[in-house]
Amino acid sequence: MNLAHKCFLYRDSEQYLEIKKELGDGVFLNVVLFFHQRKFLEFQKNLVQDFVANLVEELMIDSSDFVKVRNVFELKLQELNTQLTTFAEKLEAVEVFNIDGCMQLVSLGTLLTSLIGNVSLMIFRDKRLYYELYNSVYDDTKIDLFSDFIEGELEHHDELVYLGNDFKHLVDVDALYEMQENIGDTVSIKVYSLMNQMFETQGVQADANFLAGYTITPRAIGQSSRKSLSERFGGNMGKYGSKVSNFTDKLTQSLSLNKYYITVVVLVVLVLFMLYSVLNQLLEKQNVDKFLTSSGVEVTLTIDKLKNEIYEFKTMNPKSNQKSQKYSEILQQIELLRKKGKWLDDIANLEKILQKDYYDGFNIHLVSDMKVFNDVGLGTSAKILTLNTTELEKLGALKTLSYHKGLFLGGEKGALVNALNDGSRGVLIEYLIENPMKACTMNLLRNGLYCYTHASELFNITKEGIVPVTIVDNELPDTIGGVEVYGKLNMYIFQPNLNSSLPGVFTTKYTNERGSQVSFTRPRNYTLLDVATGAIQELDGAFASTAIDGNFLVWSNQKLYQLWRPTSASALDVRQVPLIGGDKLSSLSDDVKVISHYGSKYVYLFDKEKNSFSVYVSDPKKTLEASEKSYSLTYLFSFKFELANDEKVVDIATNAGTVQKPEAYVMTDKAVYKINLYSFIDSYTDK
């Protein structure tokens, strides 16, 4: 096996490092790196060059043992990542070192490659896109590091293409297919050469940074090799040649005497062989299972292919939508093979592996016991408040939990105000009213709760007792879908949907009378009416919950919307907030609580139906004025609660004040627990 290569460098050549080494028969090492940071450029290059020198020295000893080659390569790559991290941390004057590229080892027909930075890998087989992968970039690391191995078997004439960007940003998929069709069966024309021509035509070479192509070719046996065979035997070839000549003459004479019979036999054998070939091809075609991927590539399903798919899924970034797409495709492939009754035992084993990798792959923490959140180092328990029998009876069915320098629990029959822990249990207030409470939220002064009933009655509950909330010269809306406060002056009452008692109205803002948090005036409706047409801008379904962080965040029909009021207007603008990453296949339900605070870059989604709590970070930060209405949310991790002893999570609140160290408070039907979210966030942010 041989490895032909070509590299196109589109930036200043000094910023590149390209290394090509042949370590033995069929063993090749290739490195292509683009260094964005010109400061300390030679130091960065020297680190990689020293790594390559040490790696080559070890592999040259014995490059025929693939397991040894892999282990050495992996160990050395980990050491290089450590050296890169140490190097970057020592240089405080430089904010970030971005490196794009690849380090590829082809050993005995197997590919071992590691990607770094903003780079794509594409593998073309028979001139068709066979495999694609985009390496995700993390903005919160000071220097880019090499990824885990991508490993797979190669075939002759496979083409490996590395691009210094996400290839989908530069190559339209339809254009790529058209390019592949133009290639046809011409082996001499390489995909990466045509791709380079495409970049030159479009003028996007600088965006591509670099394009590196490698082709797997058989190692040819030339004339010199055949000549050496005759030279190797020397004069003995003449002696053996005369005997062969005599045998050939006798065979020719015998064949000429029976020419007719031999011709008939040969024709019969030929016809039978052709029939066998046709039938065999038909049977094979019927027996081959094909699957069309989301990118339009048709693949043949095998157990080995599924294993590779699961391995690829495991190594993909959970912060990208591609991982969820890959998971969905694997499930479809498994189901297709199961329906055909193929490899059922192997499929069952793969499903077990996939189930385990599902939780790890999507950063899902399966919580069966809240003790997992205990701080072993400090010896503290996550459980901070255990509700006794009397409290549970007077509270009734628990509904909502709020937090502000203490815990505020709202139930159907009563509330627990400003509890801290088992030693400071707060004040228990019984409502003693006719209608049960539906839900509660913090009041204006954050010293109690606003709670509303199913009959749309609104009350203020503090340690002093329960007082009705009134609207001066007006009445409360006939239907209340939710209540929130913002600042210390304004209360917002939300409609359950746009077709309620106030058609087109999303929320009504009320301003308190001076010094009061139970008497409000000056109601103002905020609508979702299109200013030009007067038509209602429909959101999909009812409003499950709303958070206010300077703008409105609304969960409706399994989607997250952001609404805001333009200057001097009552009609709100609307956009859907993109949720990037996580498991898209198992979508969130309709009953989701949105948690977002002013000054915090995080957004939390508590799915009450599925007992999951997901953490997202805004990108760009929603705390920046330039991006506060255009950010997307990138998935970090989630908790899936499956608690023992019939304990059920009812509600979750987070602290609003300590935005740098987020904490979550989990209320079950028996107790309240505290989770140090920041330790989990730090662990995933640093990756």
pLDDT (0 to 100) of residue 61:
67
Tell me what the pLDDT averaged over the chain comes to.
81
Give percent of the chain with pLDDT exceeding 70. 79
Q: What b/e sequence results for 505-542 when a residue is b if at least 16 CB atoms lie within 10 Å of its CB, and e otherwise?
A: bbbbbbebeeeebbbbeebebbbbbeeeeeebbebeeb
Angle (deg, nearest 10), helices 344-361 and 321-339? 160
pLDDT (0 to 100) of residue 244:
39
Do residues 588 and 607 make contact, with C-beta atoms less than 8 angstroms apart? Answer: yes
**Average of pLDDT values for 284-311?**
64
Which of 30-44, 211-225, 502-516, 588-602 is predicted least confidently?
A: 211-225
pLDDT (0 to 100) of residue 316:
76
Q: What is 2-221's CATH topology?
A: Phosphatase 2c; domain 1 (3.60.40)
pLDDT digits (tens, 9 = 90+) for 509-536: 999 998 899 999 989 999 887 655 656 6
Say how far apart CA 391 and CA 393 lie, in whole Å: 5
The residues, any chain, with a CB within 8 Å of residue 606's CB and separated by 6 or more, are: 592, 593, 595, 612, 613, 614, 651, 652
Question: Measured between alpha carbons, how far apart are the two ends of the chain, in Å?
Answer: 37
pLDDT (0 to 100) of residue 638:
94
Residue with more model confidence, 165 or 671? 671
Token pair of 534 as six digits: 């007067």
pLDDT (0 to 100) of residue 226:
33
pLDDT (0 to 100) of residue 501:
66
Q: Write the CA distances from 563 to 216, 219, 500, 603, integer angstroms.
A: 54, 63, 19, 15
pLDDT (0 to 100) of residue 241:
41
State yes or no: cis peptide before 218, omega within 30 of 0: no
Which value, in Å, is the radius of gyration of the alpha carbons in the chain?
34
- The listed range with the strongest mean pLDDT (130-139, 152-161, 215-224, 464-473) is 464-473
Token pair of 429 as six digits: 């207030």
Say how far apart CA 335 and CA 591 lie, in whole Å: 30
Which of 85-94, 111-120, 242-251, 386-395 is predicted least confidently?
A: 242-251
The DSSP secondary structure of 547-577, one letter per residue, reads EESSSEEEEETTEEEEEEPPTT-SBPEEEEP
Say how far apart CA 347 and CA 360 lie, in whole Å: 20
Under the banding of pLDDT at 50, 70 and 90, the label for residue 289 is low
- The listed range with the strongest mean pLDDT (291-300, 341-350, 432-441) is 432-441
- Given a cut of 70, whether residue 461 has pLDDT beyond it is yes
pLDDT (0 to 100) of residue 137:
56
pLDDT digits (tens, 9 = 90+) for 143-165: 888 888 888 888 888 889 999 98
pLDDT (0 to 100) of residue 23:
82
**Average of pLDDT values for 323-349?**
74
Q: Write the CA distances from 233 to 74, 227, 228, 383, integer angstroms.
A: 46, 11, 9, 86
- Given a cut of 70, whether residue 252 has pLDDT beyond it is no
Do residues 562 and 569 make contact, with C-beta atoms less than 8 angstroms apart? Answer: no
Task: Break the chain into its structural domains and give their ranges.
Answer: 2-221, 286-362, 367-685
Say how far apart CA 469 and CA 476 lie, in whole Å: 9
CA dihedral 320, 322, 323, 328 (to 10 degrees): 140
Residue with more model confidence, 137 or 609? 609
pLDDT digits (tens, 9 = 90+) for 40-92: 888 889 989 988 988 888 887 666 777 888 888 888 888 888 888 888 887 77
Check if CATH label 1.25.40 holds for domain 367-685: no
Closest CA to 56 of 17, 19, 23, 78: 23
**Average of pLDDT values for 209-230?**
60
Residue with more model confidence, 258 or 334? 334
Count of other CB atoms within 10 angstroms of residue 451: 28
- Given a cut of 50, whether residue 255 has pLDDT beyond it is no
